[in-house]
Structure 1
């Protein structure tokens, strides 16, 4: 029987960070016309933690009369069995892939808790990611332009065009060292690159945005200010996009893109290699 409900409870459950469950769940749910009331349950590695989740599932079912949707990745068989026995529609996000790889390679998988892989044999990559995050935070919003030689990429754009969230996502997900610099009024009047950027031209990448969207974002931050006015946004964007074109700096419009999409397009256009951590 098909439900006509406009919203559904959705749980993302994992014995690791649950990021994979969330990512795949969002892709799948984006195909359906209902609102998802989402909750995430990471590091469900014991029956005690699972019991708390099962109470949430049962509460959802009793409250709504509909089984919630559960996207999960759990290795321990006893926990997995308990979850599958709950009043929910459960989707194992890796089981089908693991089974197919097993069939294709004729090798038996050796399940292990996701968190046990985070630090240990992969500790070098783990600490690389921490270093990338620290570097990116230290170079956020033009705080400093020292150490640009260590940067993987330098994001340029007007204020509120999406530089900071994109920088942090690239650092956290791919271990990239990212500098982001907002063009201020003096830069726009000068309409030229800072000397510090000249020797790192190959690392420069621009972000732009539709003026209407920029006005909306700035209004939410500083309503009624000149900073948020349509005229100011138009002038800044026109000048900066002219600079990008004149200096042959690749750039994309972020208006309708998620941070994941922005990052993917930057990696594609810049040729940067993804560092899966």
Structure 2
């Protein structure tokens, strides 16, 4: 015999749908509706963490990428700061992730670097500068929680959040 679907089930489905629509900074106007907001530089496991929090706990999650020297959307400063989590990662670990990501896509970084002027995505100095900029932003907003995701599984980071 099949059990009827519970309110908890529908809450999780709604959370997953919301989270998918808010992935990678999409629809920042909805940040007020998010239970959890994740901030950080590219490739710090924001999407898997967002989806896990939505599926397992029914949290509506928005993740907002931080781009070096570009201010985050103004809406981030209008939400309850207890819902904002800045993700940080060790530079060498992030470089390894980004290098593997690039290799997996077949992108020729030499060609891109020549045609576009520079290609810093996996450059350690650029990554260090990017992470320093993110840390400085977090320090300017001490009411936000900061989570170091280096070497941790999604489940471990979700437990911290």
Structure 1 residue 200: Cα displacement: 0.5
- Identify the match of residue 189 of structure 1 among 51, 69, 72: 69
| 8 Å CA contact 2:28, 2:73 repeated in 1 | no
Q: Which whole-Å CA distance do the structure 1 matches of 2:65 and 2:72 have between them? A: 12
- When Rg is computed on C-alpha atoms for both structures, the one with the higher figure is 1
Structure 1 residue 156: Cα displacement: 0.2
Alignment partner of 1:233 is 2:113: no
Partner of 2:46: 163
Q: Which runs of 5+ in 1 are unaligned?
A: 1-112, 267-277
- Normalised to the residue count of structure 1, the TM-score between the two structures is 0.50
- Identify the match of residue 79 of structure 2 among 185, 200, 203: 200
TM-superposition CA deviations, 1:141-187 (whole Å, max 9, x none): 11221222221010000000111110000000011000001112xxx
Q: Which runs of 5+ in 2 are unaligned?
A: 104-108, 110-118
Any residues of structure 2 matched to 1:1-277 within 5 Å, and which?
A: 116-117=2-3, 120=4, 122-184=5-67, 188-190=68-70, 192-202=71-81, 203-223=83-103, 224=109, 225-248=119-142, 249-266=144-161
SS, match of residue 257 in structure 1: coil
Q: Which whole-Å CA distance do the structure 2 matches of 1:212 and 1:149 have between them? A: 34
Structure 1 residue 195: Cα displacement: 1.4
Considering Cα pairs closer than 8 Å and 6+ residues apart, tell me whether 1 or 2 has the greater RCO: 2
| Higher-helix-fraction structure | 2
TM-superposition CA deviations, 1:205-227 (whole Å, max 9, x none): 11110100100111112254421
Aligned residue pairs, count: 145
Q: Which whole-Å CA distance do the structure 2 matches of 1:148 and 1:255 have between them? A: 26
Q: RMSD of aligned C-alpha atoms?
A: 1.6
